[in-house]
Amino acid sequence: MILVLSNEMPDEERLELIKKMEEIGLRVHESQGERYRLLGLIGNTSTIDRNRLNAIRHIEKIIPVQESYKLANKAFHTKDSTIIDVKGNKIGGENIALIAGPCSVESEEQIVSIAKDIKKSGAKFLRGGAFKPRTSPYSFQGLGSEGLDLLKIAREETGLPIVSEIMSVRYIDEFAENVDIIQVGARNMQNFDLLKELGELKTPILLKRGLSSTIDELLMSAEYIMAGGNENVILCERGIRTFETQTRNTLDLSAIPVLKKHTHLPIIVDPSHAGGMWWLVEPLSKAAVAVGADGLIIEVHNDPENAKCDGQQSIVPERFDTLTKQLRKIAELDNRII
Amino acid sequence: MILVLSNEMPDEERLELIKKMEEIGLRVHESQGERYRLLGLIGNTSTIDRNRLNAIRHIEKIIPVQESYKLANKAFHTKDSTIIDVKGNKIGGENIALIAGPCSVESEEQIVSIAKDIKKSGAKFLRGGAFKPRTSPYSFQGLGSEGLDLLKIAREETGLPIVSEIMSVRYIDEFAENVDIIQVGARNMQNFDLLKELGELKTPILLKRGLSSTIDELLMSAEYIMAGGNENVILCERGIRTFETQTRNTLDLSAIPVLKKHTHLPIIVDPSHAGGMWWLVEPLSKAAVAVGADGLIIEVHNDPENAKCDGQQSIVPERFDTLTKQLRKIAELDNRII
Amino acid sequence: MILVLSNEMPDEERLELIKKMEEIGLRVHESQGERYRLLGLIGNTSTIDRNRLNAIRHIEKIIPVQESYKLANKAFHTKDSTIIDVKGNKIGGENIALIAGPCSVESEEQIVSIAKDIKKSGAKFLRGGAFKPRTSPYSFQGLGSEGLDLLKIAREETGLPIVSEIMSVRYIDEFAENVDIIQVGARNMQNFDLLKELGELKTPILLKRGLSSTIDELLMSAEYIMAGGNENVILCERGIRTFETQTRNTLDLSAIPVLKKHTHLPIIVDPSHAGGMWWLVEPLSKAAVAVGADGLIIEVHNDPENAKCDGQQSIVPERFDTLTKQLRKIAELDNRII
Amino acid sequence: MILVLSNEMPDEERLELIKKMEEIGLRVHESQGERYRLLGLIGNTSTIDRNRLNAIRHIEKIIPVQESYKLANKAFHTKDSTIIDVKGNKIGGENIALIAGPCSVESEEQIVSIAKDIKKSGAKFLRGGAFKPRTSPYSFQGLGSEGLDLLKIAREETGLPIVSEIMSVRYIDEFAENVDIIQVGARNMQNFDLLKELGELKTPILLKRGLSSTIDELLMSAEYIMAGGNENVILCERGIRTFETQTRNTLDLSAIPVLKKHTHLPIIVDPSHAGGMWWLVEPLSKAAVAVGADGLIIEVHNDPENAKCDGQQSIVPERFDTLTKQLRKIAELDNRII
């Protein structure tokens, strides 16, 4: 970390600042420029509260050199990549995991039927929303706990581990007990209290990138969970907000190789929410596999036109089946397995 | 609401759609264009689940004509503006309310001293963070419940009602009992479960606009709280995320007159978080009053350089005092009172 | 196009408006909602000046139903896709065109050597900057006309048609005479006078999407060129500005299938400028081919570390060669040819 | 400027780099961190081509400490603020300059009538568009040179200097001869060839901030003009693109105090284009004066509903007159003059 000091900072103030930094175990390297004096802080700066330094009037700028996340950081990790393994279904490494299922669980028949279909096509996990984040209080809010029960029936029938989104700390216990991978939605990526409580579980967490969050912010949110002790975090790129209105969001596929450079955590892609239209799912999924994603989470519904939510971005099981075949071929080019 | 139908939609499908719409009490007006057929839906469309219509493949586009919020909507409200009154301290109408205090409560001495100072200068409410949303798990997270206790002591000493941020539904009861205005931070603007639970209280809610949320989304979040029964919502513009890096965020002052056009709820401005630098507080506060805001929430600290958070954007009590005098003069030009 | 009228609009004003619309050949369809009256305008509305309608105080909103571009619009075009053919080198249709070369032409030796290398690997066009848009007046601005001369030598030696960027109408004649495809950079996408003058040429135009332009705006800029008579336009997605700072820009690959839905013009991708880093070129290129792009424009340099510009995002000829082999395999999966 | 080097950079490469830097007159200060080695470059780094350094594979990051603009930089300027003086009409310093007039010149009667009205209300400059940048090729494109002639008649009649927008280098001579302040529109802010040619004139240039440009980029564009020899640059904040759709753009008023900190050039505000609606002009103008702007450029039309462009954001002369009275009162609070 580099501190840019105004030349007007009194010597005694500067010396005191240096003393403080040394007291917390850092070495300080001074350097005098034309209009500024620089302090290079050497050592573990990830626990420094940048905000507090910022308050010192003669510090003009604080320039981080290293990343602020440590547990999520590849540079500090023994293994090159973390593999999440739920009863033999893996995310990370050579495996490209397909997670599929409806936006929201609607009935036993619906969820079991979809689960069977996607399993046949090669999906390794079943997704389904029980508690739904909706921008309008007047929209369908999900079946709640009943939805989780139906998901469990589908798991029973197919053996597929289940993925579902948590929206409130009130349901931590229920999710910890019943769900195999707990999803944190884009709008809750910086719900820090939720992240902290999830950090105390052992269940893997599927953490979606916020609508206008940077890659660093996503990693800092992963760090929140990991700092609590739960290192089973799967990152998910699901599109960011841009000025483009033809798509629901803009899928940031560059984020995949960039994340792979900085973190050992697996990274999957959600083409359904990113594009917001069923006919975009196929090309975006292919691109996601080609760019190196560790998996995909795709909305599949057996009757999209009557889906209780997100029908416009869901594909039918037949199309999912065709898609998986195409994806497999792209994966094979890189010796990866779907 | 207007539905744009593809010309390829079979007649029977269209007729069924029209029937459904009529069944939920809407009148439907058809119109045939060159490449599209339009259905105009007349009546209360705010409860329609747009998402579900979207799923119908032959609906090319859904064009809302009216706003989706109803309770927050000026057009459906009897009074022109809602006034929030906490023990005689008002926000809304002719009154410009000043809310001031430190980013975070640090000690009894600190908070009481600041409370006395700002009261003398004309502030009507004391703000102070007890639970702090921080992007890093390694940063100071606030004093928690102890912070609320210290705020209560300051209220006791000065009579100023207190404003503090809630971060988790776990603390709903504690906040309802102890805090006069409960603040929802920008990152929680779409924490729908939190909004729902706050909707069941009577305590006024200070709802901050999300970092990259639109005005409509802010109003939909207010609608969530109001739909639960709590109509005491104060909106707060606190800067939105843009490409500009010289300021922490970009204060969107146009949002004030736009919101005044659409809603009866009071709207205040947070120049401290918007600019992120103490020397921006003064010009932005003046602009906020000139543009018509109903109040300001300003970070004031008696020792910014040693503040535990946000010191760089806090002003000292003396500067706050000078500022209030300037603001008063601008307010008087429009016959408004600080 | 739908006009949303305030209920307070006097009848005579409304009737006059309807009359005006009918006079320019539109049919008008009226519909009375609860709070608004709607006018549906049927016919060719692409020549209506929306701006002027906006000025009428009682028009609350103008809602376009059809796109504003006509010549670039697939719906009004006889062929499904336009193929640009420069001396047998094709862009569009089943062919995936590779355009490669250095950011800027530096010497005869450099450009000829690179041209030979990329040709061997399968590139169909040579790119090279002679006039460079640089954000600082103190940066290297390109060799100018001399650069074009060197490009012509490389064309002579390899037979590869050349692509170069024009920055000013002052050079229209020089480019028309010497360059095979004239590139319009992102920052000039809305330099309307330049677009107009290019519309009078026959040379194909490679039009890059502006840094924060929408897909519709890109198509409107293509429309400017086409309206002048030059229908040989190639669109190029090169990354848009977002909050992400780890990449130079955010490559919007969803734009490819969206554009393919709306226009018959070919669309290529520039992974070099989008990512801004050489190690991102490979994964992004693979994703671009998988998503359906009609071509790629890639910066290749034989000595990136000493390149006069953009060295950090250039790959060496050997890597380009390996890359083309990978891309070819992905292309084959869809029966497309590189 | 600080260079962050990978620890894997070979010593000889590093020594060569240091030698190069010293050869161009910089002092180099080394510092070894845990994972990186830093080089601090001391001296005038504004002419370093960052891009070229970026290409060196072992340079992980380049961190600018000083600004890249020099002529526009307050730190290197003798006077605190530059005052532009056109025949006694001043922009900058204690004077708040009002520039007003129609979006586009339509007829002699129109422009002369508006000019007389705004002069009476206290405007110091007349604006009027002759060449209009329009996103659609089918919209009214302005009267062209005839428009400039009409502006000159209005100047003759009122004595008001005239401000008009240039769109192409083809008209440089015509503008230099006829126009008092040449405006560069937002979309041309990075039309570098235009900036270069304007740098050779003496006429003051009104440079509008690009739709999604940062403050630093605006200053770099000013630097382009100044580097050519023309130091008479007036900056103009006119709203930036954000996700908000209720306003045409988002007026960034924080930019005013930030610019005043970094540059000596005067900064004015365009509330008409920023908000895009006539009823926003008044509150935004008041806020702009309160925040410290050096002037305003406001669209005034005597018949907005029949204006050939931007009627929806134009105010009538009577409203302009009322507005100036309000603005004057706010200005007086800071001892500034309108």
Dig out the tokens for D265 from the structure: 């050039």
Chain B environment of D245 (Cβ under 8 Å): 214, 216
Q: Count contacts between B and C (CB, < 8 Å).
A: 53
The tokens describing A123, both together, are: 């999906």
Residues of B within 8 A of C4 (CB-CB) are 65
Q: Do B253 and D253 touch (CB under 8 A)?
A: yes
Helix axes B108-121, B317-333, angle to 10 degrees: 30
pLDDT tens digits for range B42-55 = 888 877 777 778 88
Mutate to test the interface with A, among D63, D69, D213 (most CBs of A within 10 A): D63
Predicted local distance difference test score (pLDDT) of residue B218: 98
- Cα→Cα distances B17→A111, B5, B22, B26, B36, Å: 26, 11, 9, 12, 16
**Neighboring chain A residues of D4 at a CB cutoff of 8 Å:** 65
CB contact under 8 A, B312 and A194: no
Predicted confidence at residue D35, as pLDDT, reads 80
D136 at the A interface (CB within 8 A)?
Answer: no
**Structure tokens belonging to residue D237:** 């904040």
Q: Dihedral (C-alpha) C241, C247, C253, C254: value to the nearest 10 degrees? A: -50
Measured between beta carbons, the chain C residues lying within 8 angstroms of D194 are 168
Q: Whose structure tokens read 């596999």?
A: A289
Distance from C-alpha of A42 to C-alpha of D33, rounded to nearest angstrom: 5
Q: Do residue D286 and residue B290 have CB atoms under 8 angstroms apart?
A: yes
3-state SS assignment for residue B335: coil
Has residue C235 got a pLDDT over 90?
A: yes
B47 touches chain A (CB under 8 A): yes
CA distance B95 to chain A (A): 31
Report d(CA C192, CA D191) in Å as an integer: 11
pLDDT beneath 70, residues of chain D: none
- Which of A140, A188, A212 has the CB atom closest to B49's CB atom? A140
Quick one: C176 exposed, middle or buried, by C-beta within 10 A (0-12, 13-18, 19+)?
Answer: middle
**DSSP track, B299-317:** EB-S-GGG-SS-GGG-B-H
pLDDT along chain B (338 residues), means of 10: 90 92 88 84 79 83 86 87 95 95 96 98 98 90 96 98 97 98 97 97 98 96 96 98 96 98 97 95 98 98 88 94 98 95
DSSP string, C306-324: G-SS-GGG-B-HHHHHHHH
Enumerate the β-bridge partners of residue D274.
none
Nearest to B251 among D240, D247, D254 (CB): D254
Separation between Cα atoms, residue B304 and residue B311, nearest integer Å: 4
Which of B73, B101, B175 has its CA nearest to residue B131?
Answer: B175
Residue-wise DSSP of D64-121: --S-S-STTBGGG-SSS---EEETTEEEBTTB-EEEEE-SB---HHHHHHHHHHHHHH
Q: Is B193 on the interface with D (CB under 8 A)?
A: no
- C-beta atoms of A250 and C246 within 8 A: no
User: Is the pLDDT assigned to residue A49 strictly greater than 80?
Assistant: no
Which chain D residues contact residue C217 at CB under 8 A? 135
Percent of chain C with pLDDT over 70: 100
Say what the pLDDT of residue B253 is: 98
CB within 8 Å: B63 and C35: no
- Contact criterion met (CB < 8 Å) for A330 and C330: yes
Please indicate whether, in this complex, the C-beta atoms of D138 and C191 are within 8 angstroms of each other: no
| DSSP H or E segment with residue A212 | none
Query: D38 to chain A: which residues are within 8 Å by CB?
Result: 2, 40, 65
Residue A147 has pLDDT above 90, yes or no: yes
User: Rounded to a whole number, what is the distance in Å from the CA of B286 to chain A's nearest CA?
Assistant: 23
B42/C34 touch (CB, cutoff 8 Å), yes or no:
yes
Cβ separation D31–A40 shorter than 8 A: yes
Angle at B54 between CA B53 and CA B56, to 5 degrees: 75
d(C-alpha A17, C-alpha B225), whole Å: 46
- C75-94 residues touching D, CB cutoff 8 A: none
Distance from CA of D313 to the nearest CA of C (A): 7
Find the helix or strand (DSSP H, E) in which B27 lies: strand B27-32
Structure token digits, residue B149: 């206790």
**C293 falls in which pLDDT band (50, 70, 90)?**
very high
Interface test with B, best of A134, A136, A139, A277 (most B CBs within 10 A): A136
pLDDT (0 to 100) of residue D67:
85
- Against chain B, the chains showing at least 3 CB pairs within 8 Å are A, C, D
Q: Are D55 and C314 a contacting pair at CB < 8 A?
A: yes
C-D CB pairs within 8 A amount to: 130
- Specify the pTM: 0.94
Predicted confidence at residue D275, as pLDDT, reads 93
Encode A259-269: b = buried (16+ Cβ within 10 Å), e = exposed: bbebbbbbbbb
Mean per-residue pLDDT of chain C? 94
Min Cα–Cα distance to chain A from B133, Å:
7
> Which residues, numbered 1 to 40 in chain D, qualify as contacts with chain C under a Cβ-Cβ cut-off of 8 Å?
none
Q: B104: alpha, beta or left, given left = phi > 0 and alpha = psi -120 to 50?
A: beta
Each residue of A108-136: pLDDT tens digit? 999 999 999 999 999 999 999 999 999 88
b/e code A86-116 from CB counts within 10 Å (16+ = b): beebbbbbebbbbbbbbbbbbeeebbbbbbe
| Record: contact A169-B167, CB cut-off 8 A | no
- Distance from the C70 Cα atom to the nearest Cα atom in chain D, whole angstroms: 11
Residue C50 has pLDDT above 80, yes or no: no
Q: Does A311 touch chain B (CB under 8 A)?
A: yes
